[in-house]
Chains A and B, each alone.
Chain A
Amino acid sequence: MAVTATIVLRGRKVVGGRAEGEALVTRQTIPGWGGVNPVQGVITETQHELRGVSFKDKVLVCRGAKGSSGWSAMYHTARLAGTAPRALVFNEMTTKIALGAVVMRIPSVTDFDRDPLDIIDTGDWVIVDGDRGLVEVVKRTATQI
């Protein structure tokens, strides 16, 4: 039968708080300075699969961060400009994404029991509970079980 599945992923708190929103998912790492326009909230890196896509108010689900040490300052600027994502769900911890999550002040979780990239698709509704390290995924499309 077809059901709208809800899946819960368990991970580790990076930044506390609770937020929910539509998932924006990429298996690629997210660029910082030189690959993002923080005032518009859009990825600009020439060869990135999210080029031209806005992360404003999304739950950003990604492998991690890459590139310049200006990463945190770019996403910090996005927070001030009102274009930051609502929450971060990622696999690979680096100083860039840790500091970026801290200064964006958005609920963020990593170190999951299952790979969120295998479970969450762009458009799914995702609820991130940073303090408990829980990520609840409501699939957008009905799943055959």
Chain B
Amino acid sequence: MLILTDGEKRMLDGRDGKARRKAMQLLVRYAEALGAERFVDTRNVAGVPGSANPFLQNYYKDKSRDGLDAIFSHFDLDSDELVDVPPALVPTFHLQGGADPTAWQTLGVKVDVFRNHQEREAFAAQHDVGILKTCTPYLAGNVPAKGEHLAWMESSAVIYANSVLGARTNTEGRESTSAAMLTGKIPDWGLHRTEHRFGTHRIDVELDVSSVMDWGMLGYFVGDMVQERIPVLQGRFTRPDIVRLKHFGAAASSSGGVEMYHIVGVTPEAETLETAFGPKHPLEVFQYGRDEQRRVYDRLNTTGVDAAVDFVMLGCPHAAIEQLREAAQLLDGKKVSGNCHLWIFTSRAVKSQAHDEGITKTLGDAGAVLLTDTCSAFAQAVPPGTKVVALDSAKQAHYLPAILGVQAWFGTTRDCINAAVTGRWSADPPWQ
């Protein structure tokens, strides 16, 4: 049974305005659906408030004179009544969305659609929402502290915040983050509670997992095995850095619904195997060896048939500065093939740093395009006529063929850049 504080009751009664009342009503319906008993306060919300795809834009076009308040009222807050939207009550950030503000035409975005993106960005900014426009807020200025309660969307950011940073958030959705933005409340359920953060499954890594690609494949395997449970990894691996952890988590939250993992001796709630499991015992133990790696590799390359590659996309999740440096080194003095395009996605924050370091120029001289705000899967944008893509992200290889019906090859960043330069996929599996 859900118990409300006086402050929560005041919002629900409408004494803090109509919009907060609608937000609280939605959060109560959501908490009751979960079976939560209370709310937890949050001062760190990451969502996509007020954003809209063409379907929603069109659906709400005639609902009121102010389409943006209508989208926020009816869709974000699931309210039948139109309300005036006040500014964010607690610090709130906008994740990826829209189109690159300078290179939107490259993404094939029409001018009227771009204007809509700009209007929605202005709406968010006017409501005190920080414009990060990235799936990697933790690389762009929003780095939560250990134990901090968040209301975050974006599965790859949620898994990073819980596992690597020790912050606490469930995978929130569009509606729950927008409601949290106006109330500073989110159901105290799941990963907000210590007893639900312990490991459930053990993964014995029997293979030296070291490259970014290795960690992506391991993440894809783990997600498939444990679905939405909490895996604890131990065994033979080279200590992972930020880029590897980012790639691992994104893969695990795509093939399954993993929102938290432990790596013994690496992540903050897993100093030892015993602390990672707490009072629990593993429900199952899975081995990850050569055979498992082969199966993952084959699955990620299921759709890859033709060697002629039209398009290479890097930066899923959005590239860290280290990844842009690596791409620039691999491309230095080379040119992207006339039969191929190379797009690299990152955050506005990292792009700004890349510009100052001269990386953007090196990439541009080679014919690569550095883009922000979105990615090919999210924007459903690839160069015209694209049939075969090369990707270094297990997450993108999971989504892009399903979304756009293209063939996908999955390999290392170096394999992908070779494909961009030669126009052909010629990478061997990692065990050859």
Contact = CB atoms under 8 A, between A and B. Distances in A.
Contacts of A14: 33
B209 to A, nearest CB: 23
Interface stretch (B251-259, B381-389, B412-420): B251-259
A69 B155 contact: yes
A67 B253 contact: yes
B171 A34 contact: no
A26 interface: no
Interface string A49-72: 000000000000001111111111
Interface in B71-102: 75, 78
B227 A29 contact: yes
Interface residues on A, range: 35 or more
A72 B35 CA distance: 17
Interface residues on B, range: 35 or more
Contacts of A99: 30, 33, 172-173, 175-176
Contacts of B172: 69, 95, 99
A115 interface: no
Contacts of B303: 46
Which of B152, B172, B174 has the most C-beta atoms of chain A within 10 angstroms of its own C-beta? B174
Given A44-B403, A99-B33, A70 B55 contact: no
Nearest to B34: A98
B174 A73 contact: yes
Contacts of A139: none
A20 interface: no
Which of B35, B56, B171 has the most C-beta atoms of chain A within 10 angstroms of its own C-beta? B171
Contacts of B158: 69
Contact of A94 (B26, B228, B254): B228
Nearest to A79: B78
B399 A93 contact: no
Nearest to A98: B33
Interface string A6-43: 00000010110000000000000100001100110000
A88 to B, nearest CB: 10
Contacts of B190: 94-95
Given A46-B303, A65-B257, A70-B173, A35 B402 contact: yes
A68 B402 CA distance: 14
Contacts of B53: 77
Contact of B176 (A64, A95, A101): A95
Interface in A83-99: 92-96, 98-99
A67 B155 contact: yes
Contact of B33 (A46, A63, A68, A102): A102
Contact of B377 (A34, A80, A102): A34
B33 A76 contact: no
B319 to A, nearest CB: 20
B302 interface: yes
B155 A68 contact: yes
Contacts of B175: 72-73, 76, 99, 102-103
Contacts of B402: 34-35, 44-46
The 6 nearest A-B residue pairs measured at CB: A72-B173, A66-B257, A69-B153, A73-B174, A98-B33, A95-B170
21 contacts: A15-B29, A29-B228, A29-B257, A34-B399, A63-B227, A64-B227, A66-B228, A68-B254, A69-B152, A69-B153, A69-B174, A77-B53, A94-B170, A94-B190, A95-B172, A95-B173, A95-B189, A96-B257, A102-B33, A102-B175, A103-B175
Given A15-B33, A95-B171, 16 more contacts: A12-B35, A14-B33, A34-B377, A63-B227, A69-B153, A71-B173, A72-B173, A76-B78, A77-B55, A94-B171, A95-B170, A95-B189, A96-B171, A96-B173, A102-B29, A108-B33
